[in-house]
Amino acid sequence: MNTPNRREMINRAAMLLDAGYRTTIVALDTGLNGQYLRELHKEITGRPPRAGQLPEADAIVNTRRVLVEGSLLMGLYVEIGGPEVYRQVDLDALSRAYRAYLQARKEACLPDTKPWRRLTLNEGWVLARDLRSRQAALKRCSCGCLYLMVSRQRIH
């Protein structure tokens, strides 16, 4: 990677880490080394990045209410990102959709506590990844609303 391009990728990585994306997601987007991103995360946030794997989509949408939340977020993501999101995860579109999702939750006065649960940005990435890989899909209800279907989901 040449120096100007590397500098651009480092700036992008810093922006994504500051937004809350996990280092594994940022590494996929920028091509930067995981160890470097962990150090950058600590420099930006003042704490080490979270360890562990990202959840699978079926573990995320484990209640009807979370399925509603996921449907809202993915509906916004597809609206903002367009048909390209079915070919490649677009972190910029996902970030914009996530901000719109948080605003919609706020306007609907949805609490972050049970029985509702606000999705995280990284859970949104998992759903977007599965949308791209066809492990998840947005279907249209007879009423016209979009709803999310995830492979192996236990909620009908």
Q: Which residue's structure tokens are 């609206």?
A: 79
Q: What is the pLDDT of residue 71?
A: 95
Percentage of residues of the chain with pLDDT beyond 70:
96
DSSP string, 30-58: H---HHHHHHHHHHHHSSPPPPSPPPPHH
- Residue 4 in this model has a pLDDT that exceeds 70: no
Q: Measure the CA–CA gap between 102 and 73, rounded to whole angstroms.
A: 9
Question: Token digits for 40?
Answer: 């950058």
Report H helices in 46-147: 57-60, 64-81, 91-107, 121-132
Averaged pLDDT, 125-140: 95
85 touches 131 (CB < 8 A): yes
Whole-Å CA distances, 104 to 22, 98, 111, 134:
24, 10, 12, 26
pLDDT digits over 46-55, tens only? 999 998 999 9
Q: Measure the CA–CA gap between 45 and 27, rounded to whole angstroms.
A: 17
Averaged pLDDT, 119-131: 97
